[in-house]
Amino acid sequence: MTDEMRGADAAETPGSTRYAWFVVIVLMLAHILNYVDRQLPIILIESIKKDLQLTDTQIGLLAGLAFTLAYSIAGVVLAFASDRYSRKWVIVGSLTAWSIFTALGGLAQNFVQFALARLGVAIGESGGTPPAHAIIVDHFPPHRRALPLAVFSAGASIGFMAGLMLGGFINDYANWRTALFVAMPPGLLLALVIAVAVRERPVRKMSSGSGAPPTSPSFGTVVRHVLHTRALRILVLGGGCYSFALGGVTTFLAAFFIRSHGLSTSMTGLMMGLGLGVGAGLGTVLGGYVSDRAGRSDVRLRLWMPAAISSACVPLVISALLVESPMTAMLMLAMGWVASSFYLAPFTSGVQSLVPSTMRATASAVSLIVTQGIGVSSGALIIGALSDQLQPVAGADSLRYALICGICVLWVGAALFFFAGRRLPEDLASQGS
The answer as to whether 220 is a domain residue is yes
Q: What is the pLDDT of residue 432?
A: 58
Q: What is the pLDDT of residue 318?
A: 96
Q: What is the pLDDT of residue 215?
A: 59
Q: What is the pLDDT of residue 3?
A: 43
pTM of the model: 0.70
211 burial via Cβ count (<10 Å: 0-12, 13-18, 19+): exposed
Q: CA–CA separation, 364 vs 226, rounded Å?
A: 10
The answer as to whether 209 is a domain residue is no
393 burial via Cβ count (<10 Å: 0-12, 13-18, 19+): exposed
Q: Find the length of the chain.
A: 433
Q: CA–CA separation, 96 vs 185, rounded Å?
A: 10
HEC-encoded secondary structure of 53-88: CCCHHHHHHHHHHHHHHHHHHHHHHHHHHHHHCCHH
Q: What is the pLDDT of residue 400?
A: 93
Q: What is the pLDDT of residue 262?
A: 86
Structural domain total, the chain: 1
Q: CA–CA separation, 18 vs 288, rounded Å?
A: 19
Domain harbouring 92, CATH code:
1.20.1250.20
The answer as to whether 373 is a domain residue is yes
DSSP 19-63: HHHHHHHHHHHHHHHHHHHHHHHHHTHHHHHHHHT--HHHHHIII
Query: Helices marked H in 262-312 — which ranges?
Result: 265-272, 278-294, 301-310
Q: What is the pLDDT of residue 6?
A: 43
The answer as to whether 207 is a domain residue is no
The answer as to whether 72 is a domain residue is yes
Residue 62, domain extent: 3-201+216-431
Q: CA–CA separation, 153 vs 145, rounded Å?
A: 12
- The Cα diameter of the chain in Å comes to 69
Q: CA–CA separation, 429 vs 364, rounded Å?
A: 20
The answer as to whether 320 is a domain residue is yes
pLDDT tens digit at each of 433 positions of the chain:
344 434 434 433 434 778 888 888 999 999 999 988 887 887 887 888 888 887 777 777 776 666 767 776 787 778 777 777 778 888 999 999 999 999 998 898 888 888 888 888 888 888 888 788 888 877 777 667 777 887 887 788 788 788 888 888 888 888 889 989 998 999 999 999 998 888 776 544 433 344 455 556 777 888 888 888 889 999 999 999 999 999 889 888 888 998 888 888 888 888 888 888 788 878 888 888 888 788 788 888 889 988 999 999 999 999 999 999 999 999 999 999 999 988 988 898 888 888 887 787 778 778 877 887 788 878 888 898 899 899 888 888 899 999 999 999 999 999 999 999 998 888 888 765 5
The answer as to whether 359 is a domain residue is yes
The answer as to whether 210 is a domain residue is no
Residue 126 phi/psi, 5-degree rounding, is -65, -20
Q: CA–CA separation, 67 vs 413, rounded Å?
A: 22
